[in-house]
Amino acid sequence: MIAVKDISYSVGRKQILNKVSFNIASGEMLAVIGANGAGKSTLLKLLCREVVSTSGGISFNEKDIALYSIKELAMIRSVLTQHNTVSVMFSVKELVLMGRYPHFENTPSANDIEVMHKAMEETGITHLAERDYNTLSGGEQQRVQLARVIAQIYDQPNAFLFLDEPTNGLDLLYQQQILQLARNMANRGYTVISILHDINFASRYADKILILKNGETVAFGEPLQVINCDNIHNAFNIHVKLMDCEGFKCPLVIPSGILV
């Protein structure tokens, strides 16, 4: 589980996050949504300990993240960032195996190899195993990267998976595949936090939604509680219509104009 308590982060005089708090239990998936510049990426950086909060604290499994070593963190938490460019030629297999780097010194164990194969199977990239990463399409590359981060925590119970806009630039099929994979990870007991732009995807796949605006929490809770016209108006400065649709637990959000 992840507990975030009153974290604030500022650069100079600019307050980027202001007293954000939430708790996420193991097996839950949290979607973070909000307009550009709302502080979503900063929140993820704080969770990854790339930057340190000005005040407030974050704990993983009731242990303050400042107390973990780099290596311990890498064993229980993996991150799919945006913009994954690989500078040299690596095969898909080699790249996925890199996810196991925190777990072996020089030679991967039989277990590491098995995890690599399972992660490739789950993400549907086994047929690409020998291909050069740089020759793949955007959607394939994203699935390879996801396989790598899944492999990193595959055999670690109570681990954490963070995704930064994992569906960016992908077509509808790939978007759903990626989110379904994230959902499956949550169902297996992982704590998943994903930044998303699409509100409808967020309410469909996530257990909890956090809406941010200018670094402050607009709403936090289950999709049915937080997805309403007021909150969306407030966070995105747009008019929306909500529409119930058969087969969806939460009403769909349809943008209907700019708020003036």
Partner 1 sequence: MFKNHKVILTGLTLGLIVVIIASVCIGAVHISLAQFWSIVTYHTGISKVATFTSQQMAVLLSLRLPRVMLGVIIGAALAISGASLQGLFRNPLAEPGLIGISSGATLAAALMIVFGGSLLNTMGSIYGYYALAIAAFTGAFITTLTVYRMAMHNGKTVITALLLTGIAINALAFAFTGLLTYLSTDEQLRNITFWSLGSLGGASWISLGSVAPFIAIPLIGLPFLGKSLNAIALGETQAGHMGVNVARTKRLVIVLATMAVGASVAVAGIISFIGLVIPHILRMAFGSDNRLVLPASAILGGAALTLADLISRTIVAPAELPIGIVTALGGSPVFIYMILSQLKKQQI
When asked if residue 172 is in the footprint of partner 1 (CB under 8 A), the reply is no
Q: In angstroms, rounded to a whole number, what is the distance separating the alpha carbons of residues 236 and 37?
A: 11
Q: Binding-site residue total for partner 1 (CB under 8 A)?
A: 30
Strand pairing of 238-243 and 252-258?
A: antiparallel
Q: How far is the CB of 148 from partner 1 (least distance, A)?
A: 8
Residue 170 one-letter amino acid: L
What is the torsional sign of CA 96, 157, 162, 177? positive
Spell out the residues 6+ positions from residue 98 whose beta carbon is closer than 8 angstroms to its own: 90, 148
Secondary structure letter of residue 87 according to DSSP: S
Residue ranges in 39-78 that form contacts with partner 1 under rule CB under 8 A: 48, 50, 70-71, 73-75, 77-78
Q: Contact at 8 Å (CB) between 178 and 143?
A: yes
When asked if residue 129 is in the footprint of partner 1 (CB under 8 A), the reply is no
Q: Closer CB to partner 1, residue 92 or residue 232? A: 92
Strand order in the sheet with 2-11: 14-24, 2-11, 55-60, 63-64
Select from 4-12, 16-24, 85-93, 197-205 the region that touches partner 1 (CB under 8 A): 85-93
Secondary structure letter of residue 132 according to DSSP: B
User: Which string of DSSP letters, residue by residue, matches 133-168?
Assistant: GGGS-HHHHHHHHHHHHHHHHTT-TT-EEEEESTTT
When asked if residue 109 is in the footprint of partner 1 (CB under 8 A), the reply is no
Q: How far is the CB of 71 from partner 1 (least distance, A)?
A: 5
User: Which string of DSSP letters, residue by residue, matches 169-236?
Assistant: T--HHHHHHHHHHHHHHHHTT-EEEEE-S-HHHHHHH-SEEEEEETTEEEEEE-HHHH-SHHHHHHHH
When asked if residue 86 is in the footprint of partner 1 (CB under 8 A), the reply is yes
One residue of 111, 134, 180, 187 binding partner 1 per CB under 8 A: 134
In Å, how far are 10, 40, 151, 196 from 204, measured between CA atoms? 33, 19, 25, 12
When asked if residue 243 is in the footprint of partner 1 (CB under 8 A), the reply is no
Select from 9-17, 84-92, 153-161, 252-260 the region that touches partner 1 (CB under 8 A): 84-92
Q: Closer CB to partner 1, residue 136 or residue 238? A: 136
Q: Closer CB to partner 1, residue 93 or residue 204? A: 93
One residue of 14, 87, 246, 258 binding partner 1 per CB under 8 A: 87
When asked if residue 95 is in the footprint of partner 1 (CB under 8 A), the reply is yes
When asked if residue 25 is in the footprint of partner 1 (CB under 8 A), the reply is no
Residue 204 one-letter amino acid: R
When asked if residue 110 is in the footprint of partner 1 (CB under 8 A), the reply is no
Q: How far is the CB of 253 from partner 1 (least distance, A)?
A: 32
Q: How far is the CB of 162 from partner 1 (least distance, A)?
A: 9
User: Which parts of this chain interact with partner 1 (CB under 8 A)?
Assistant: 48, 50, 70-71, 73-75, 77-79, 81, 83-91, 94-95, 98-99, 101-102, 106, 130, 134, 152
